[in-house]
Amino acid sequence: MTDRDTVRLESLEPDDLDGHTIDELADYLDAGMQPADPSIDDSAACQNALAAIVRLRHSSLGSLEAAAEQEAPADESWISGVLANISLEARAGRDVPLRPAAPTERPVMTEGAIRSLVRTAGDAVPDALIARCTLEGDVTELGAPVHVVVEIAVRAGSTIQRVAADVRETVGQVLATQTDLLVEAVDVVVRDLLPPPTSDDTAAHDDTEEDPA
């Protein structure tokens, strides 16, 4: 069992998500985000976490409960680990400098925002789900080399090498276009397999492709 698997949701600090927990965000999502809660709706960290929860549920047979029923307790532990990482990665972390347009400017983006970029880009790759993203190196110094490690789960039945290569390319492109990091390498580590898609998942995917909107 890895360290990721031993992280429990109850141990997460609410300060990571502007006073909220992953469980509260999941309940808010299940309630259709009604009644509106400005402390969640206006929080960038909460919004990043909510988006990641939606992608996780979609990639895990539509819901955490369905996935847990199929492979409890191992699958439930793995999903808890991913949710824990979502919360931990959502916090701001270090300030990462951007190239200034003027000598008096000191533009930055947070480490948490960069990890959210990586997670969003990687989750968009077919048959992939981002489990964890780590930025290794001195990201606080402009031009310092950075090593990016992305841990993923791959859909069973897909070609693992292809999915990993697609994630590596996609993450590299988004970091090159939306940050000023000097990315030395993007390493993709396959940690687990997701269950193969169900007939409902396939039908939903086909309906989305046919929708002209």
DSSP, collapsed to helix, strand or coil, labels residue 147 as strand
Chain centre to alpha carbon of residue 132: 7
Cα–Cα distance between 195 and 3 in angstroms, integer?
A: 22
pLDDT in tens, 131-159: 888 899 999 999 999 999 998 889 888 99
Exposure b/e, 92-126, CB count within 10 A at least 16 = b:
ebeebbbeeeeeeeeeebbbbbbbbbbbbbbbebe
Starting at the earlier edge strand, list the strands of the sheet with 145-155: 128-136, 145-155, 182-194
| 137 and 176 Cβ atoms separated by less than 8 Å | no
pLDDT in tens, 24-82: 888 887 777 788 898 988 887 788 778 777 776 665 534 334 444 444 434 555 666 66
| 164 and 152 Cβ atoms separated by less than 8 Å | yes
Residue keyed to tokens 């992305």: 150
Give the side-chain half-sphere CA count within 13 A for 68: 10
- Six-digit token pair at 189? 């580590």
Higher pLDDT, 93 or 117: 117
Cα–Cα distance between 16 and 149 in angstroms, integer?
A: 21
Average pLDDT, the chain: 75
Look at residue 13 in the predicted model and tell me its pLDDT: 47
pLDDT in tens, 165-200: 999 999 999 999 999 999 999 999 998 887 776 655
What's the sign of the alpha-carbon dihedral 175, 6, 138, 165?
A: negative
Is it true that the peptide bond before 14 is cis, omega within 30 degrees of 0? Answer: no
